Amino acid sequence: MDIDPHTLQQILDKIKQQMRCPQCGKHVPVDFSSVRVMSDNALLLQLKCDSCNAFIVLHASLQGVDQISDEVFGDEEGTTNASSTLQMSENEMKMLNAALEESGGSFSTLFEKYDKDTDEE
């Protein structure tokens, strides 16, 4: 299952609303950095209570995530969220994957390499 960043943020917001520390009962901060493992049907989060410094490992099931729809912001306006979808052909995607492999998965290295190539031209 591919989850775009906006849907992931909605999931984390729902967890944040309900998440309380099992030791002191205070709200626990939940954000992107809390996510440690993400699979097709679950998230594994590592949380830390700011009040009592308790560490919490949370397994969150992703059942029903496909019902969360942030593709359309307003039916009457007909606007869609295109920021989290990549508009590329299959050849462009293969080329990007190959370039990322060459640079060891680092976008910084990739941009430096291609920036030098464009400067020379």
| Total structural domains within the chain | 2
The verdict on residue 73 lying in a domain is no
Residue-wise pLDDT tens for the chain (121 aa)?
567 778 888 888 888 999 999 999 999 999 888 888 888 788 899 999 999 999 999 998 887 666 654 443 444 455 555 555 556 677 877 887 888 888 887 778 878 877 766 566 5
Please give, one letter per residue, the 3-state secondary structure of 40-79. Answer: CCEEEEEEECCCCCCEEEEEEECCCHHHCCCCEEECCCCE
Structural domain including 54 reads 5-67
The verdict on residue 26 lying in a domain is yes
The verdict on residue 52 lying in a domain is yes
d(CA 55, CA 22) in angstroms, rounded, equals: 10
d(CA 15, CA 31) in angstroms, rounded, equals: 10
The verdict on residue 78 lying in a domain is no
Identify whether residues 47 and 90 lie together within a single domain.
no
The verdict on residue 110 lying in a domain is yes
